[in-house]
Amino acid sequence: MHNLRAIYIIWYREVLRFLRNRSRLVGSFGRPILFLFIFGSGLSPAMGGLTQGMAPEGGGIDFVKFIFPGIIGMNVLMGSMMSGISIVWDREFGFLKEILVAPINRTVVALGKTLGGSTTGVIQGLLLLVLAPLIGVSITAEMVVKLVPLLFLISFSITSLGVLIGSRMKSTEGFQVIMQFILMPMIFVSGALFPMRDLPSWMNILVKINPVTYAIDPLRKIIFEAQGLPASVLEMLPQAGLGVTLFGHAVTMGEDIAIIALFGAVMIAVAVWMFNIQD
């Protein structure tokens, strides 16, 4: 009970810090709006219908609607990774030292930080659903119910990576450089913003080994399913470059989730280990 209370307090502090930070809340909308309404709308005429004949009306899938799940995933990933910077801030201001000398296991601290970052990541992902009607994306209760646990799993995995990095960094500037160096390439070769087809072989390998690829894929499947696309159309997504294939096998949503869960388990295990050996 003592450790559970400590996890709750650390989790609550992270969530409260996020909710009180108005600039961070505004930023949760700023980047997505930039991508959706400037980047997306600007490229939409050039991209045309990404999958002609796949929509129920016989047309293609609009580019802005295509990148919407990717933008949600990107917002969750950026928010989750940024949660790791709170460790660096706490170290710089001496708060982390006070936590580490408290009579609690350091594993509790890592778990509390990770759960807090995961919660704020989910919030940042769900906030974007208010933009869905503006681009013609339908929101259903079933879709939201499916998205919440998936977003939490994705956020938990990436927050674990952020906590792992933050546990060894000494400055916020250094953390931000490492975060951008790791996260941005992962987003751009995940299929979040462009269909992953007709790629060079070396880039195709990067797409397949990128864990973010398997986070964006189920998000897109859930949101496309809510738009009324039949199962037969959803099965065609990998062949159209809108899904993931491994050795000719179309990766299912369950397999996507299993890969993300495995990645998250490895990241949190390493993060806890690094937290326990730090000075």
- Give the pLDDT score at 212: 92
Give the pLDDT score at 149.
94
Domain parsing of the chain, residue ranges: 2-277
Q: What is the pLDDT of residue 61?
A: 67
The whole-number pLDDT of residue 54 equals 44
> Which positions of the chain have pLDDT values less than 50?
51-59
DSSP the chain: -HHHHHHHHHHHHHHHHHHH-HHHHHHHHHHHHIIIIIIIHHHHHHH--SSTT-STTSSPPPHHHHHHHHHHHHHHHHHHHHHTHHHHHHHHTTHHHHHHTSSS-HHHHHHHHHHHHHHHHHHHHHHGGGGGGGGT----HHHHHHHHHHHHHHHHHHHHHHHHHHTT-S-HHHHHHHHHHHHHHHHHTTTSSS---S--HHHHHHHHH-TTHHHHHHHHHHHHHHTT--HHHHHHTGGGTSS-EETTEEPPHHHHHHHHHHHHHHHHHHHHHHHHH--
